[in-house]
Structure 1
Amino acid sequence: MTGGVLVVGAGLLGTSAGLALRRAGVDVRLRDSKAEVLREAIGRGAGRAEEPGDPPAALAVVAVPPETAGDVVADVLTSGAAEYATDVASIKALPAARVRERMGSTGRYVGSHPMAGREISGPGAALADLFEGRPWVICPDEHTDQQAVTRALAVARMVGAAPVTMSITDHDDAVALVSHTPHLVAVLMAARLVDAPAHEIRLAGPGIADVTRVAAGDPALWTEILSANAPAIRDVLRNLRADLDRTLAALDAPDTAQAQLYQLMRSGVDGRARLPGKHGAARTDFVTVSVIVDDRPGQLARLFADIGAAGANVEDVRIDHSPGQPVGMVEIDVRPGTDQTLRAALTESGWRVP
């Protein structure tokens, strides 16, 4: 991209974008209010420090929290540091309103949001392939210059993402359903563990770990996100509360609850089936092959080498450690029809395959 990209905010998303853009041959300059964060991002190879004599960047990618994103975009554009700008905050109405308030026009700005992240933050958590195959939502409106959209789309494609265009309202409603409320539900479930007796916690397995995984996210950042998208999240929570009320009513009448509880379970199966599958394609039902693995160095490497030698493609993998035992269960998801061949090959190689 002629003119290069200015990344403002060298945290997880900003540094990951810098790493991916540098890999694509783009000149990336970095800016962060914290000198130590900037040094770490530069040390990771995400770009070079912005310098006073730099010409305007073709695009600024503003990767700061939602409450400050709009102000930073306005500062970057009015100072001449970049010709156009996008932000990657997970809410789009708040930054757009702030840019409009500060500049009177949002023409050189387009909001965007890569649907990618991790439970850990900072430049040390950044990955060059964080955006690979993930949706990157671009949210133009009737005032947006086409060049702003073109440059934001170019950046999304260069980092390996799959661009999607949505309105600001549709985006904020969508992330309330598929990101913000699920995070809040995970937090509420994880909070039940704080005062739980130790003997109950010891029984925890992969189910509770899966449900609460995202609860480890930065509390300060998520407080901002939930506050900024409160109206859309409230709508989802009200519907969830109605489902909880129906579930409680069913559990209060166990003699007649079977049909209602089954329908609830069935709706969960049907809803999860609508989630996109690998690389955004239609979801495929895979077959799980379980392998018992000793908890010692080199075992996973040997297992995956044997899986490769058997000609099987791993679609997903999960590891469950057995409490108090020096073994773990590795669950390998493969396409239907290949599982029996894989089981036979692994058994022949000496693995314990239940």
Structure 2
Amino acid sequence: MSTGATSVALLGYGRFGRAFADLLLQTGHRVRVFDPQASVPERIDATSLAQAVTGASWIVLAMPVPHLRDALLALRPLLHAGQSVLDVGSVKLRPCALMDELLGPAIPHVGTHPLFGPLSLARDERPRRVVICPATAHPQAAARASELFRTLGCEVIVQDPEDHDRAMARTHALAFFIAKGLIDMGVDDGMPVAPPSFQGMQHMLEAVRGDAGHLFGAIQRENVFAAEAREALLHELDRIHRQLAADPDDSMAIATRRERD
């Protein structure tokens, strides 16, 4: 039982929502789930949004970003200042702006991005990290969210929403972009002679498929910096491709981190 056990209303029971609910329950938190589109276990199922939210200290928004505005509009009349709202999306600019707009100074809220998913939770991979993006009007909500995630075994990283999305564009979005290209090429379909150097790439492909492969389009389109990152990568790959063709002496090498710095 977690020493910081609290009551959580989880709105959304997709792949991440299910894994997150299990993690909350395993660490002693009380969970009620509302998702009329999903099959939710009876012991944690709420029959209405109001039933889920009533008595909850935390309201967790675990639905796709395009559904956030409607969810917040439906939620707002049910909330009071003693409750806190957080989202768990992989982009932060739009969710944080929506919560600022629709919850304002009256309802504590905070943006979060758990840097783990169903597959990494199943493997109990560590370290388990989460990004917290505090709302200017609610620093205490960010502090409480940090404590909540620490009860889940997470290391906490505090970031501005824009800095977060820029970083995710060059990591999360690019990883999914590369993985989709390789998967669509059939690169990971039965590779008995793959060298050890490919194992890290194979792990990335498995993680993308297992954690959130179905969210590929959302991850690319909802991050306003993703297109720029993809274009920069394609530019560099094209430059390297052309340089290889023009370099008969094969003098190219991959720079080490120390050499790049």
> What TM-score does the superposition give when structure 1 sets the normalisation length?
0.60
- How far apart are the structure 1 equivalents of 2:207 and 2:5? 38
* Cα distance, 1:213–1:126 mapped onto 2, change above 3 Å: closer
Q: 1:255 aligns with which of 248, 252, 255?
A: 248
- Letter in structure 2 aligned against 1:111: G
Aligned to 1:266: 255
Aligned to 1:20: 23
- How far apart are the structure 2 equivalents of 1:64 and 1:205? 38
- How far apart are the structure 1 equivalents of 2:235 and 2:215? 28
8 Å CA contact retained: 1:131, 1:159:
no
Q: Secondary structure at the match of 1:30?
A: strand
- How far apart are the structure 1 equivalents of 2:38 and 2:239? 52
Aligned to 1:146: 139
- How far apart are the structure 2 equivalents of 1:226 and 1:62? 20
Q: 2:127 aligns with which of 133, 138, 143?
A: 133
- Letter in structure 1 aligned against 2:215: L
Q: Secondary structure at the match of 1:266?
A: coil
8 Å CA contact retained: 2:103, 2:109:
no
- Letter in structure 2 aligned against 1:49: D
Q: Secondary structure at the match of 1:255?
A: coil
Aligned to 2:35: 32
8 Å CA contact retained: 2:79, 2:107:
no
State the identity %: 23
Q: Could you list the runs of 5+ residues in structure 2 that have no partner in the other structure?
A: none
Aligned to 2:66: 67
Q: 1:166 aligns with which of 144, 156, 159?
A: 159
1:219 positional shift: 5.4
Root-mean-square deviation (Å): 3.3
Q: Could you list the runs of 5+ residues in structure 1 that have no partner in the other structure?
A: 120-124, 195-199, 275-354
8 Å CA contact retained: 1:157, 1:163:
yes
Aligned to 1:109: 109
* Cα distance, 1:106–1:165 mapped onto 2, change above 3 Å: farther
8 Å CA contact retained: 1:12, 1:126:
no
- How far apart are the structure 1 equivalents of 2:234 and 2:181? 13
For the pair 1:222 / 2:238, whether they are aligned, the reply is no
* Cα distance, 1:35–1:250 mapped onto 2, change above 3 Å: closer
8 Å CA contact retained: 1:85, 1:110:
yes
Offset from partner CA, 1:208-267 (integer Å, 9 cap, x none): 6346334536555221221111x31123223322321221222222324x23x21xx234
Aligned to 1:209: 202
1:204 positional shift: 5.8
For the pair 1:183 / 2:176, whether they are aligned, the reply is yes
* Cα distance, 1:213–1:26 mapped onto 2, change above 3 Å: closer
1:91 positional shift: 0.5
Offset from partner CA, 1:261-314 (integer Å, 9 cap, x none): 21xx234xx39xx9xxxxxxxxxxxxxxxxxxxxxxxxxxxxxxxxxxxxxxxx
- Letter in structure 2 aligned against 1:149: A
* Cα distance, 1:79–1:266 mapped onto 2, change above 3 Å: same
- How far apart are the structure 2 equivalents of 1:251 and 1:191? 24
> What TM-score does the superposition give when structure 2 sets the normalisation length?
0.79
Aligned to 1:156: 149
After superposing the two structures, state which structure 1 stretch, 172-181 or 206-215, moved more.
206-215
Point out the structure with max Rg over C-alpha.
1
Higher relative contact order (CA 8 A, sep 6+): 2
- Letter in structure 2 aligned against 1:48: I
1:68 positional shift: 1.6
- How far apart are the structure 2 equivalents of 1:78 and 1:126? 34
1:130 positional shift: 5.3
Q: How many residue pairs end up in the alignment?
A: 247
Aligned to 1:9: 12
8 Å CA contact retained: 1:86, 1:110:
yes
1:49 positional shift: 2.4
